[in-house]
Homo-oligomer: A and B are copies of this chain.
Amino acid sequence: MENYQKIIEDIYLDLKNIDDVGKVADYIPELGEVSADKFGINMTTIDNKSFDVGNANEKFSIQSISKILTLTLAYKLEGEKLWERLDVEPSGNPFNSLSQLEKDKGKPRNPFINAGAIVVCDVLIGHLKNPKKDFLDFCREISNNSCLNYSEKVAESEKACGYRNVALCNFIKSFGNIKNDVDEVLDFYFYTCSLQMSCKELSQIFLFLANDDFITNKGNSIITMSQAKRINAILLTCGFYDESGEFAFRVGLPGKSGVGGGIIAIHPDEYCITVWSPKLNKRGNSYKGMLFLEKFTTKTASSIF
Q: Chain A: residues with CB nearer than 8 A to chain B?
A: 87-93, 97-103, 109-110, 163-164, 166-171, 173-174, 182, 225-226, 228-230, 232-234, 236-238, 242-246, 248-249, 252, 254, 268, 298, 301, 303-305
Pairwise interchain contact B252-A233, C-beta atoms closer than 8 A: yes
Pairwise interchain contact A174-B163, C-beta atoms closer than 8 A: yes
Pairwise interchain contact A252-B237, C-beta atoms closer than 8 A: no
CB distance from A46 to the nearest CB of B (A): 14
Pairwise interchain contact A98-B99, C-beta atoms closer than 8 A: yes
Instruction: Name the CB-closest residue of B to A103.
Output: B99
Copies per assembly? 4
Contact of A245 among B101, B238, B303 (CB under 8 A): B238
Contact of A236 among B89, B225, B305 (CB under 8 A): B305
CB distance from A171 to the nearest CB of B (A): 4
| Known contacts A102-B98, A174-B163; is-contact A229 B305 (Cβ 8 Å) | yes
Chain B residues positioned under 8 Å from A173 (CB to CB): 163
Pairwise interchain contact A90-B88, C-beta atoms closer than 8 A: no
Pairwise interchain contact A237-B244, C-beta atoms closer than 8 A: yes
Pairwise interchain contact B171-A167, C-beta atoms closer than 8 A: yes
CB distance from A298 to the nearest CB of B (A): 7
Chain B residues positioned under 8 Å from A304 (CB to CB): 268, 304-305
Pairwise interchain contact B245-A237, C-beta atoms closer than 8 A: yes
CB distance from A157 to the nearest CB of B (A): 15
Instruction: Name the CB-closest residue of B to A176.
Output: B163
Pairwise interchain contact A268-B305, C-beta atoms closer than 8 A: yes
- A–B pairs, 18, beta carbons within 8 Å: A87-B245, A89-B243, A90-B245, A92-B100, A98-B99, A99-B99, A99-B102, A99-B103, A163-B170, A163-B171, A163-B173, A163-B174, A163-B182, A170-B170, A229-B305, A233-B249, A233-B252, A237-B249
Chain B residues positioned under 8 Å from A109 (CB to CB): 92, 245
| Known contacts A233-B303, A268-B305, A303-B233; is-contact A88 B163 (Cβ 8 Å) | no
Chain B residues positioned under 8 Å from A169 (CB to CB): 167
